[in-house]
Amino acid sequence: MKHSGPCKPLLLSALCAAMLSAGASAWAVSDKEILADASTTDEIVTNGLGLQGQRYSPLSTLNVDNVKELRPVWTMSFGGEKQRGQQAQPLIKDGVMYVTASYSRVFAVDARTGKELWQYDARLPEDIRPCCDVINRGVALYGDLVIFGTLDAKLVALHKDTGKVVWRKSVADHKAGYSITAAPLVVNGKLITGVSGGEFGVVGKIEAYDPKNGELLWTRPTVEGHMGYVYKDGKKVENGISGGEAGKTWPGDLWQTGGAAPWLGGYYDADTNLLFFGTGNPAPWNSHLRPGDNLYSSSRLALNPDDGSIQWHFQTTPNDGWDFDGVNELISFDYQEGGKTVKAAATADRNGFFYVLDRTNGKFIRGFPFVDKITWAKGLDKNGRPIFDDSNRPGAPSASEKGKSVFAAPAFLGAKNWMPMAYSQDTGLFYVPSNEWGMDIWNEDIAYKKGAAYLGAGFTIKPLNEDYIGVLRAIDPKTGKEVWRHKNYAPLWGGVLTTKGNLVFTGTPEGYLQAFNAKTGDKVWEFQTGSGVIGSPVTWEMDGEQYVSVLSGWGGAVPLWGGEVAKRVKNFNQGGMLWTFKLPKDLVAKR
């Protein structure tokens, strides 16, 4: 571990400790700050630029007219040999940026200069089992702490001044396939996290911890049949079985290794006091082994943050046989219809459909395709349930032969994968990073073994077009209309940011951070960072100036799982850099 700052960790005296304590009290991130993050502009203390995850900034100093003058002011390398798969979103508080990097590392950086203040490296065991690269998507800030999850399924709380460990908590057994890649969130004094590991036959779960000390407060399994618990005064109290009796929508004992991992993390809507989490694929991928809907896999869940009880669910792909998951972010937004305000939430699913739900009760409002080709389903019924095309489900295997192979679109990496979309309060549009690809997929015989991959399927991903795979789309959630699109040769794999300055930012595997006119889709600026941009950009103001920051470092699932698509990106350089840009003061007023 490396440290620097006002107090050397090995020389902490009583006076130095008092200085840290005094500084911490002024710095401490409160529940009030977290709830207000979407409207504040001088700090970012949540993943998503607000608990609803809209990734919208009210800043407009930087806009479509002057963004051409946006220029880099500093960059910092994450160093070492661990230069790949940088998917985090930075947080900024009182002039310090906190960001994670691959292999479960955390950095504190002077946001004015790019100087590293401290670095924490988790001591990972050699037998970690990350499904989809050694990535991490960010930290949570609370009180004096910087909290994140690790690839060996631990939560670690660090002191914000020194990077020293304050507490460390094991969330699950990494030898069974569990890990944590998502940024945790803090809601009403509770630290909330999901887990990864659906490809290993784990049982997904969402849990709340006391952020001050790591004490478990409640646990909610996300596979039907498993009991949830609330912990009070050190005692475990049953809090209801998820979905009723064991195996109701699962055959036999498969619910015991059912997957449904909420690996992307979640968001929170204060209007309804609900946590919104998505869940991943059922295990194994071979759907013929598990006839039924397989709740709560491939679903969106609304949970009570006080005890983890499930208030409603919406399943996008029942009996998922294509690894479509349902983990993509569910973003709260309001719109007017018939003179009334509709409290809605939207998600762009890996399965190719865009869904608008009533976030108060999970009822289906509308759904529509947001990519050009969908073969696995013929459409959605009036309740939003897919109308399956049975000829495009991979066939059942025998003990000696694989099942019938089919070509399915989208590919299992999804019409949209983990990379978060953004919603503009000005245009009323969602900006969705999507991909046009398909796959040959077939089923194979499989048996569960602890810690081993539990797929029961084989696949080869193929591009649908010669000249592009990625498409950044502007989508109207009220009509289903695609307002504009921008094509990209390689798959898009990074998050999106939109601002009141009529800008949309996102990155490409080719290394560019790009900005678009939010209304027209015209590209108005780009910068080559040297490696693929698959992180989530942010913007904030400091000393009267507007800044933009993003991570650069190619990696993630595409080069690992991409089949023929991987050939398109095989020459892309990996990396590990943190870039920060700003608009010079003397150019702010120029139009």
- Consecutive H or E run containing 459: strand 457-463
Q: How many Cα atoms sit within 13 Å of 341 on the Cβ side?
A: 7
The gap from C-alpha 4 to its chain's centroid, in whole angstroms, comes to 30
For residue 197, is it within any domain?
Answer: yes
**Is 6 inside any structural domain?**
no
3-state secondary structure 240-288: EECCCCCCCCCCCCHHHHCECCCCCCEEEECCCCEEEEECCCECCCCHH
| Mean pLDDT of each 10-residue bin along the chain, 591 residues long | 41 39 64 98 98 98 97 95 90 98 97 98 92 94 98 98 98 96 98 97 97 97 94 85 78 95 98 98 97 97 97 98 98 96 98 98 98 98 98 94 97 97 98 98 96 95 96 98 98 98 98 98 98 98 96 93 86 95 80 44
Nearest Cα neighbor of 290 from 316, 254, 318 is 254
Q: Are 492 and 434 in contact (CB under 8 A)?
A: yes
The answer to whether residue 267 sits within a structural domain is yes
Q: Are strands 523-528 and 116-121 parallel, antiparallel or unpaired?
A: unpaired
Closest-CA residue to 343 (of 314, 363, 368, 329): 363
Q: Which pLDDT does position 591 carry in this prediction?
A: 44
Quickly list H helices, 5-62: 14-27, 31-35
Q: Is 31 helix (H, G, I), strand (E, B) or coil?
A: helix
What total number of domains does the chain contain?
1
Whether the CB-CB separation of 91 and 29 falls below 8 Å is answered with: no
- Using alpha carbons only, how large is the chain's radius of gyration in Å? 23
Give residue 18's pLDDT. 40
Q: How far is Cα 42 from Cα 543, in angstroms, rounded to an integer?
A: 9
Q: Order of strands across the sheet with 96-101?
A: 2-3, 116-121, 105-110, 96-101, 91-93
Contact present, 505 and 517 (Cβ < 8 Å): no
H or E segment and range at residue 489: none
In a domain, 8, yes or no: no
Known binding residues for Ca(2+): 199, 281, 323
Cβ partners under 8 Å of residue 174, min gap 6? 125, 127, 128, 129, 151, 152, 153
Question: 180 lies in a domain?
Answer: yes
10 inside domain? no
CATH number at residue 285: 2.140.10.10
Strand 470-475 relative to strand 545-552, pairing: unpaired
**Which one of 133, 152, 293, 323 is the catalytic residue?**
323
Tell me the Ramachandran region of residue 561: left when phi exceeds 0, alpha when psi lies from -120 to 50, beta otherwise.
alpha
According to the model, what pLDDT value does residue 586 have?
A: 81
Q: What is the predicted pLDDT for the residue at 538?
A: 98
Q: Is 389 a catalytic residue?
A: no
* Sheet containing 227-232, strands listed edge to edge, beginning at the edge strand earlier in sequence: 185-187, 190-193, 205-209, 216-221, 227-232, 235-241
Which residue range forms the structural domain that includes residue 51?
A: 31-587
For residue 477, give Cα distances in angstroms to 9, 212, 412, 425.
Answer: 51, 39, 24, 12
For the entire predicted model, the pTM comes to 0.94
Annotated binding site for pyrroloquinoline quinone: 137, 181, 417-418
Q: How far is CA 241 from CA 224, 294, 382, 571, in A?
A: 7, 15, 29, 49
Using DSSP's 3-state secondary structure scheme, residue 19 falls into helix
Tokens (6 digits) for 458: 């084989």
E strand or H helix that includes residue 81: none
Q: Is residue 46 part of a domain?
A: yes
Residues of each annotated binding site:
137, 181, 199, 281, 323, 417-418
Q: Does some domain include residue 412?
A: yes
Longest CA span, the chain: 72
